[in-house]
Amino acid sequence: MAKQFIVFAITLALASTTLSKMILLTNDDGWAVTNIRATYYKLKETGHDVYLVAPVSQRTGWGGTYDIPKAPSLETDGDFSYPKAGAPSWGHEVDDDHIWYFDGSPASCFAFAESYLLPTHFNISDKIDLVVSGPNEGQNVSPSLFTLSGTLGAVYNAVYRDIPAIAFSGPSTNNSFYQDDLDLDDPLDASTIYAIKITEMVTQLFETQGVNERALPIGLGLNVNFPAVGYLNETCTNPRWVRTRLTGDPSVMPGLAYNSTSNLFYFAFQPGGDALRTCQIGDCTLPSEYSIVLSGECATSVSVFSIDYDAPIHLGNEAANLIAPLFEN
């Protein structure tokens, strides 16, 4: 019996070591929304060392922009008046110094955490194992939203710095204050379901790679889009994972539409052009993430992206040959 207990204890210790990773959690909807708080607690339940650093107020649509505080104190209230104007432009929960806000965009929240907060306040440097961004309130599908999304802006900025990163998004857009709506025991709450699924993927990555390996290959990230779940679709509480590609038919792009009554323009999605539908690189047999989102099935799209933006060799040569005489001088 003693021998069996020792073996069991060693197994638990190894599992704990495998799962005990440092995760930086951010988003573009704000540090006080229910979605990110649910994910924070679910990731911590598995033994991860999680640091939440997110905008003090909504920064949707900021992409990879670096927005930073204009003053050492807030000039306006944070979302949900939490905190209020006059508070420091960056700070943490009174009862949890792992939960921080920053008066900036998601990309600058990541930079603030990596270059200042972790090394200065926690004596930590070069140890972030994974950046998790989201879950966003609203899906981020197709390459045009990849560039527009603040959720993804934090992710590709992390990948630029050799840190594995994943963006998670879903159609739940209730934009609720965590102190009002957080319920980690509600099996139909979308925030809780997304948090559980995010933890499932993160845990699988770390278990597969082991203690000392990267969560993802260098230069790569993941874009994940959940379907409607729980109270939004009670038939879907445990969506399956489907591998997809960013591009493909159909894809969408942001655009403008004109309202003749108000004489104003408004944001509207439009069908993507041939450039977004044509497969030029990657696995062309994969469905587009937008097709999975539109399917109405209980399925989550998972797209692997690269920050190597160079064109495929044959297309690069075709374009360069058009200006070949310029290279002869």
Reduced to 3 states, what is the DSSP secondary structure of residue 170? Answer: strand
Catalytic status, residue 301? no
pLDDT tens across 208-235, in order? 987 678 999 999 999 999 999 999 999 9
H or E element, residue 190: helix 190-209
Q: Which two tokens stand for residue 88?
A: 């420091």
User: In a 10 Å sphere around its CB, with 0-12 CB exposed, 13-18 middle and 19+ buried, how is residue 88 labelled?
Assistant: middle
The residue with greater pLDDT, 160 or 10, is 160
Q: What value does the mean pLDDT of the chain take?
A: 91
Reduced to 3 states, what is the DSSP secondary structure of residue 13? Answer: helix
The residue from 169, 172, 191, 251 that is catalytic is 169
pLDDT at 63 over 60: yes
Peptide bond into 119 cis (omega under 30): no
Distances (CA, A) of 284 to 32, 103, 248, 277, 293: 40, 41, 8, 11, 18
- Name the pTM for this structure: 0.91
pLDDT tens across 230-288, in order? 999 999 999 999 999 999 988 888 889 999 999 999 988 888 889 888 898 889 999 99
H or E element, residue 159: helix 150-160
pLDDT average, residue stretch 199-215: 90
pLDDT at 6 over 60: no
